[in-house]
Amino acid sequence: MTIDHEDAALLAGLEALLGPRGFTRDPDDLAPWLVDWRGRVRGQALALLSPADAGQVAAIVRAAATARMPLVPQGGNTSMVAGATPPAHGRALIVSLRRMRAILGVSPEDGVAIVEAGVTLSALHEAAEAVGMRFPLSLAAKGTATIGGLISTNAGGTQVLRFGPMRALVLGVEAVLPDGARFDGLSALRKDNRGYDLRQLLGGAEGTLGIITAAALRLVPAIGARAVGWAGLETPQAALGLLRRLEAATGAAVESFELVPEVALDLVLRHIPGTRAPLAGRHRWNVLVEATAPTGAPDPAGALGAALAQAIDDGLVADATVSASEAQAEALWKLRESISEAERADGMAAKHDVAVPVSAMPGFIESARQAVEARFPTTRVIAFGHLGDGNVHFNVRAPMGEDGRAWLAREGAGVSAFVHDLTVAAGGSISAEHGIGQTKLADYARLADPARLAAQRAIKAALDPLGLMNPGKLVPLAPEPPAP
């Protein structure tokens, strides 16, 4: 990319501001951050900026505004929708928050952790555990995904059933707004009714309204005991029936309820070393369920085991097991959490992250699978994930023997449009938890309610009138007005 005189001056100023640890243009340093986690979308950037504190973030944003330079905020770069991948064309700088990883405070009394945006989810879990608390949101990318990225995508994960998504756990944020102003909203109040809520506006904004530099997050008491169960059954409808039974039988101790089809389990067993089948036989569908108990309460394994045994007697479940140790619990979780990794190792798929009303999900999974496989013969659907939240990852894999990348380039957009049309027809959302990013932008523009789109564009224009914050993500450009 050629650099004009003004951009060269901007880059020289930023290099002087950030120093060698905070500024690089070396292509080898940049390479991993120019492509999304799935390896589908590639972009370009003039430099990778890694500020050390919020003051440096504000200085970057002000300098970029003066030079009309687009900025792409980036955390762990684990986005499933290429939200942190810079654009393929034009100028942009990546602003990585990964150096800002201080745990600023953890208070069991207030039930609050205050952390910088680049802290990983695993580091937050550890900091909370060290004081007898926990942060009740988890997902497979926890070792890499950062608090800034999780807030900016309003991430979900495997404990939404009980604790809600990221938005429900954010008490306050500190951020740099697109004009360079610093918003200090870290007060972590449990109640605060001063009108429009910037904290919630920045949540799920995918970096289009500013850069989050720190956050105050809700903690809950550590659990006393947990039990993880695995059950094999015939249909998603049986799985949902099982969830309601287990909730009743365990006194609402169920925290996670994840659907795993046989085909996803097969991929994990094939591609992920150290995994083994949890049950003796094969089952078209499986669920992983976790039940927890507070300190001092009876171990939930007893109630979970009894409820699963009853479900087998009643013919709802074919076979089941309950972890007898922490190691067994972890081994069962590994089967669930490795699905994305195994899918990636297996080849390309058109990925979808759909939500419909919980009770409609079993019917949707079956009817949408039939419709997709009829319309795109020889493709293979894998629907897995957060059944208890009415959200599955409804992925469509390339036909056997086809070059997956070529198939995705040729058919991907059509397959996704088809799946998204079915989702909207079922009253659902085309993004339950991953966001819109780049990969869903066209379908979002096509299918979103016009009033929602207009309001989002108005908010974007009001806060980022120059359109420099993560352009090309989340907010579709307004159509050109008709010629007079």
In angstroms, rounded to a whole number, what is the distance separating the alpha carbons of residues 405 and 40? 8
- Min dist. Cβ of residue 382 to ligand MLT (A): 10
Question: C-beta of 104: minimal distance to ligand MLT in Å?
Answer: 28
- Give min distance, CB of 66 to ligand FAD, in A: 20
Site for ligand MLT contains 286 (CB under 6 A): no
Q: Which of 51, 385, 388, 435 binds ligand MLT (CB under 6 A)?
A: 385
Asked if 365 interacts with ligand MLT (CB under 6 A), we say no
Listed ranges 141-149, 288-296, 399-407, 444-452: which one lies at the site for ligand FAD (CB under 6 A): 141-149
Helix and strand tally (H, E) in the chain?
A: 16, 19
- Please provide the DSSP assignment of 253-321 as one string: -EEEEEEEEHHHHHHHHHHSTT---SSSS--SEEEEEEEEEETTSPPHHHHHHHHHHHHHHTTS-SEEE
Cβ(224)–Cβ(297) below 8 Å:
yes
Min CB(370)–ligand MLT separation in Å: 22
Point out the residue whose Cβ comes nearest to ligand MLT.
340
Minimum CB distance to Zn ion smaller for 146 or for 213: 146
For the CB of residue 340, give the shortest distance to ligand MLT in the complex, in Å. 3
Determine if 160 is a binding residue for ligand MLT (CB under 6 A): no
- Give the pairing type, strands 223-233 and 254-261: unpaired
Least distance from ligand MLT to the Cβ atom of residue 384, Å: 7
Separation of alpha carbons 92 and 70, rounded Å: 5
First-residue to last-residue Cα distance in the chain: 37
Q: How far is CA 170 from the centre of its chain?
A: 15
> Smallest distance, Å, CB 392 to Zn ion?
8
The listed partner (ligand FAD, ligand MLT, Zn ion, none) that binds 418, CB under 5 to 8 Å by sort, is none
Q: Which residues bind Zn ion (CB under 5 A)?
A: 385
**Cα 231 to Cα 236, 243, 266, 362, 404, distances in angstroms:** 12, 11, 15, 17, 32
Contact present, 76 and 145 (Cβ < 8 Å): yes
Q: In the window 52-111, what residues touch ligand FAD (CB under 6 A)? A: 72-80, 83-84, 97
Residues 402-441, interacting with ligand FAD (CB under 6 A): 433-434
Give the three-class secondary structure for 245: helix
Scanning 125-133, 144-152, 289-297, 315-323 for contacts with ligand FAD by CB under 6 A, the matching segment is 144-152
CA distance 379 to 416: 13
**Cα angle value 266/267/272 (rounded, 5°):** 110
For position 383 contacting ligand MLT by CB under 6 A, the verdict is no
**Both structure tokens of 171:** 């008490």
The token duo for 28 is: 């080898």
Considering CB under 6 A, how many residues would be counted as binding ligand MLT?
Answer: 7
Q: Can residue 340 be called a binding residue for ligand MLT (CB under 6 A)?
A: yes
Residue nearest to ligand FAD (CB): 149
Instruction: Please identify which residue in the block is written with the tokens 């081994």.
Output: 331
C-alpha 63/C-alpha 75 separation (Å) is 21
CA nearest 379: which of 369, 389, 388? 369
Burial degree of 426 (CB within 10 A; 0-12, 13-18, 19+): middle
The reply on whether position 339 binds ligand MLT by CB under 6 A is yes
**DSSP code, position 42:** B
Exactly one of 117, 223, 307, 342 binds ligand FAD (CB under 6 A); which one?
117
> Least separation, in Å, of the C-beta of 429 and ligand MLT?
14
Choosing among ligand FAD, ligand MLT, Zn ion, none, which partner's interface includes residue 350 (Cβ < 5 to 8 Å by kind)?
A: none
For ligand FAD, the closer of residues 83 and 236 by Cβ is 83
Unique residue bearing structure tokens 């074919």: 318
382 is a site residue for ligand FAD (CB under 6 A): no
**Residue 244 C-beta: closest distance to Zn ion, Å:** 21
Rounded to a whole number of angstroms, the CA Rg of the chain reads 23
| Smallest gap from residue 92 Cβ to ligand MLT (A) | 26
Find which of ligand MLT, ligand FAD, Zn ion, none residue 152 binds, CB within 5 to 8 Å per kind: ligand FAD
Does 338 bind ligand FAD (CB under 6 A)? Our answer is no
Chain residues binding ligand FAD by CB under 6 A are 37, 72-80, 83-84, 97, 117, 139-141, 145-146, 148-150, 152-153, 155-157, 206-207, 211-212, 340, 433-434, 470, 473
Chain residues binding ligand MLT by CB under 6 A are 80, 140, 339-340, 353, 385, 393
